[in-house]
DNA sequence: TATGAATGAGCATTCATTCAT
DNA sequence: GATGAATGAATGCTCATTCAT
């Protein structure tokens, strides 16, 4: 018999709570989110939230972990084999920046975590492995570029990765204050394209060997 | 009659409330900060907070404005006249990055504002003028560099400024999550020096004209 | 098929719930005890508690009844035949006081019942018969003592019994507040022996006929 | 201007909360009492309860302390100078028992404290001094009696006091369960008179010297 | 018999804010 | 200007209990 409202649906209930919580936490932060708003949005009652996640903080950690999961999944799915080094860098950067642009709530969560000095992130243990595949990929690209003489030697892949991510992160995360300060709307498509071109140029001109310059 | 405790000190009370509020808002955000904690920390009672700032939000806006004021003051005090263009860029970057490093609470406030989609920032109207002197300064430096042939043409000063700030912003603001993800402590002095060297190199190699490269 | 965990054990489950409930109710009272704590301590789930005992109150009554059962069993097992009256009184008193000392949770339950004005006790009808054998025994002893001239006439056995029990009850039930008020630890063995000697003396000197005194 | 409802009355509000709390705690115990019921009964709101007493437990302790205060006041007001020793004992006992009879809520509180193993009583520091005046008084009476040869030697005043109090305490505190068990209503005036006569007789016959007996 | 899932009312407590002096 | 007293609406969380399997 088909029913509109499924009465018993543990997995569904859990999932709906997690989705609702993700939205509330990204919108209002840990302190600002309200458990009753989460329960209502999830179509259940507050009690179930505690049944599945023990506490508001427990739910917050679960949201963080679910987010990391999706992020890691996506990061490891990029395929850049066979591309010339510079082009690989370009595409890797675009891929990461696109992800950040499309998932601003993810950045809100990260910012919230930094407000809490990473307290809740520490509880989860698999963060480091999340990004290592991308950094490995980047390392390979840099090595290929150095081998062909296109890139200079001695580039630290992790610092380079952090810089690359930061470029995209900053303009997405700070889009509202940037508009107030600069008068420019960096959420705008054209604006984003312009500045990301600058960023790619910057990354690549930095990689170019000194001999090639003078 | 002489008393140990000065009862009436309007300016002092106002200032102490503002200082206490700054600390609480930067630590816990708008939602997380507690008015009674602010009052206690300021050595006064909650009522005075409403007397001077109307509401919690009003106090929050006042904190934002006070912060902008200090930031603007500092930004306009840099003197780079007489320096060769590349050196001027280097010193400007270092100056800004040092400020960010030394004022992480300022970044917390900005992040909080972005969480609120810049709602409270809009109320204050003088934001844009805050950064324009620095951007003007940067524009002059870029023009000087272009004139001497050191820098390429057609660089957008504002986008360049945003990129430069973002580089410093990201590693300070995200220091906690970066440590969880990368295993590196970017709050560390040596680490910060290393990556800021990379950033300056990146900015300058981007500015170098194409003719100079091939 | 043999399994390590026996799944079905109705009597065991019922018993374990009752034991866990006894502990929780004596520790925290009816209002303070938590059904989920009882279920957990009994190694089952809350639902079974309702299956066997209908409600929290039903379980509470069941605990009361089980306690009475044990108490009655014990009370009727004292054998004092053949002892001289005074010695019989002495041994009866010691027997009762020892029981009280060894079952302070029983006193907690009784106190709880008095807090509820005996509401739940009334439901059980066999209370009165519980103590009547002991009172009968006491009546016989008193009659024997009167016959030999050792005890005076006209002693009410029930009032005497109540007084005797009260002496032991008070110092066990109130051991914590007594320590706070008097500085003496009446839970201490030596202390208990001293005061119970006083109590026995008191009971016996009361029983002694007036003629014997002057 | 005369108003029915006094708007500002800090002392009154505090007092009314304390009175309402006393009633609720004595009726339902610490766990069973409800803060909103207390607030309503006090004609104020829950917030004020926390304003004046910090927490439910804080209020509970305040109730305990207020009760002790009244008890101590009363205890120290008995005047027995000039009475013959036996009469003094009789009147002291009656005075204490009357107090217990008239303040059964006080006994409920004490029982509750014993359920909590005296946890909250410990916080208050002046308990011991509360009863010492009465014990001193008792000691004097006993000494006077010994001097005249009416009382035997070597009576411990504190143990004697504890026994005396216990006699009255038990039949008041356990009046409901006693009725269920014995069928007698010890709250009844006649009943109480009968048994307290027994108790006084018991105390006095215990005090009488051995020489006087045989 | 047994158990995981679900519920709604109620819980102690805290919140930002306002009143009266 | 300054302060203690007062408020009502939340807030996160727990309660005893019932439903569905």
C91 with C162, same domain: the answer is yes
Query: How many residue pairs bridge chain C and chain D with CB atoms within 8 Å of each other?
Result: 173
Both D106 and D89 in one domain: the answer is yes
Nearest-neighbour CA in chain D from C7: distance (Å): 36
Do D29 and D94 share a domain, yes or no? Answer: no
Do the Cβ atoms of B180 and A115 come within 8 Å?
Answer: no
Domain boundary among the residues D37, D53, D69 is at D53
Question: Are A120 and A203 in a shared domain?
Answer: yes
Please check whether residues D36 and D66 belong to one and the same domain. Answer: no
Residue nearest to nucleotide F21 (CA to C1'): A8
Q: What is the CATH number of the domain that holds A142?
A: 1.10.357.10
- A177 and B110: CB-CB below 8 Å? yes
Q: Domain range spanning residue C117?
A: 61-212
SS (H, E, C) chain B: CCCCCCCCCHHHHHHHHHHHHHHHHHHHHHHHCCHHHHHHHCCCCHHHHHHHHCCHHHHHHHHHHHHHHHHHHHHCCCCCCCCCHHHHHHHHHHHHHHHHHHCHHHHHHHHHHHHCCCCCCCCCCCHHHHHHHHHHHHHHHHHHHHHHCCCCCCCCHHHHHHHHHHHHHHHHHCHHHHHHHHCCCCCCHHHHHHHHHHHHHHHHHHHCCCCCCC
Rounded distance between C-alpha atoms, residue C207 and residue B92, angstroms: 104
Please list the helix, strand and coil fractions of chain A in percent, rounded to the nearest 5, in that order. 75, 0, 25
Q: How would residue C15 be classed by pLDDT, with cut points 50, 70 and 90? A: very high
Nearest-CA distance D4 → chain C (Å): 36
Domain co-membership, A73 together with A28: no
Residue D118 CB-density burial (10 A; 0-12 exposed, 13-18 middle, 19+ buried): buried
User: Based on the domain organization, do A87 and A177 belong to the same domain?
Assistant: yes
A148 and A195, same domain (yes or no): yes
Question: What rounded mean pLDDT belongs to chain C?
Answer: 89
DSSP C118: T
Nearest to B170 among A121, A169, A178 (CB): A169
Residue C23 φ/ψ, nearest 5 degrees: -65, -45
Asked whether residue D84 falls in the same domain as residue D164, the answer is yes
Residue whose Cα is closest to the C1' of F8: D45
CATH of the domain at B15: 1.10.10.60
For residues C29 and C95, state if they share a domain. Answer: no
Specify which residue's alpha carbon is closest to the C1' of nucleotide F1: B8
Please write the tens of the pLDDT for every residue from A139-182: 999 999 999 999 999 999 999 999 999 999 999 999 999 998 89
**What is the average pLDDT across C193-198?**
98
Mean pLDDT of the residues in chain B: 89
User: Could you tell me if B49 and B65 lie in one domain?
Assistant: no
CB proximity D5–strand E (7 Å threshold):
no
Chain C residues inside the 8 Å CB shell of D175: 114
pLDDT in tens, A53-104: 999 999 999 999 898 888 878 877 888 888 999 999 999 999 999 999 999 9
Q: Considering the entire predicted model, what is its pTM? A: 0.85
Task: Sort out which chain C residues have CB atoms less than 8 A from D214's CB and list them.
Answer: 212
Weakest mean pLDDT among A174-188, D74-88, D181-195: D74-88
Question: Among all strands, which nt has the closest C1' to B45 (CA)?
Answer: F3
Whole-number distance in Å between B181 CA and F7 C1'? 47
A71 and A155 inside one domain: yes
Instruction: Report whether pLDDT(D210) > 90.
Output: no
pLDDT band at C8 (very low <50, low <70, confident <90, very high): low
The total number of structural domains in chain D stands at 2
Residue B2 confidence (pLDDT) above 80: no
Radius of gyration of chain D (CA): 21
Give the distance, in angstroms, between residue C115 CA and nucleotide E2 C1': 36
């Amino acid at each position: 018999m088909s029913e509109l409202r499924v009465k018993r649906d543990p997995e569904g209930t859990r999932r709906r709570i997690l989705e609702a919580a993700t939205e509330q936490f990204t919108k209002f932060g840990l302190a600002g989110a309200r458990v009753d708003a989460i329960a209502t949005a999830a179509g259940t009652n507050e009690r179930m939230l505690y049944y599945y996640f023990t506490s508001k903080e427990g739910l917050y950690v679960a949201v963080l972990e679910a987010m990391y999961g999706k992020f890691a999944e996506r990061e490891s799915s990029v395929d850049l084999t066979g591309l010339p080094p510079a082009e690989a860098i370009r595409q890797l950067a675009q891929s990461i920046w696109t992800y950040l642009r499309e998932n601003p709530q993810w950045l809100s969560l990260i910012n919230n975590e930094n407000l809490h000095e990473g307290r809740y992130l520490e509880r989860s243990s698999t963060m480091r492995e999340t990004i290592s595949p991308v950094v490995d990929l980047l390392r390979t690209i840099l090595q290929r570029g150095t081998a062909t003489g296109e890139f200079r030697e001695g580039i630290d892949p992790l610092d380079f990765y952090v810089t690359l991510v930061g470029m995209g992160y900053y303009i997405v995360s700070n889009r509202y204050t940037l508009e107030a300060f600069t008068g420019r709307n960096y959420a705008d498509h054209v604006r984003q394209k312009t500045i990301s071109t600058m960023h790619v140029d910057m990354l690549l001109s930095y990689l170019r060997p000194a001999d090639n310059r003078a």
